[in-house]
Amino acid sequence: MTIELSGRAAHFDEMRQRAERDMAEIGVDAAFIDTLVETFYRRIQAHPTLGPVFDARLAGRWPEHMDKMKRFWSAIAFKNGAYGGKPVQAHLGVQNMTPELFPQWLELFSQTLTEIAPGKAAHDWFMATAERIAKSLTLSLFYNPALDDPARKTM
């Protein structure tokens, strides 16, 4: 038992070390994640369509949200377990959330990365990761299997 646990701990430690090396190779460290989150969500707040949707939910709670998003990206980049929330549930209660907002979110994220990421590899890594999550969130929030019913298509 002890041997198995220490084996698992060693495995996680190895995964973490590899993630940190991979991120270091593309110039990503904890300081960059802080800057990215702060810059991106300042732009979100100023965005004509995204801003009001976020602000309706987060007014008075922005510092807490920024902190959570730093832990979220840190957990993905460094595999350090810094975030343990439930993103799908968190988005379920967001008023005026529509599928059309996701491409706008991704566009703003890409523009921000183009300006501040340490290089193209870092830009591409964050974008590929965000696109995967955006797709999965969109499916969880909006996919309705009934709309794929072949019977409906003939109508």
Residues forming the site for ligand HEM (CB under 6 A): 53-54, 57-58, 65, 68, 72, 85-87, 90-91, 94, 97, 101-102, 105, 130, 133-134, 137
CB of 32 to ligand HEM, least distance (A): 16
Contacts of residue 135, Cβ cutoff 8 Å, sequence gap at least 6: none
The Cα 97–Cα 99 span in angstroms is 7
CB of 35 to ligand HEM, least distance (A): 17
Please give the residue whose beta carbon sits closest to ligand HEM in the complex. Answer: 85
* CB closer to ligand HEM out of 6 and 136: 136
* CB closer to ligand HEM out of 16 and 57: 57
The Cα 139–Cα 137 span in angstroms is 5
Q: Which two tokens stand for residue 39?
A: 């810059």
Q: Where are the beta strands (DSSP E) in the chain?
A: none
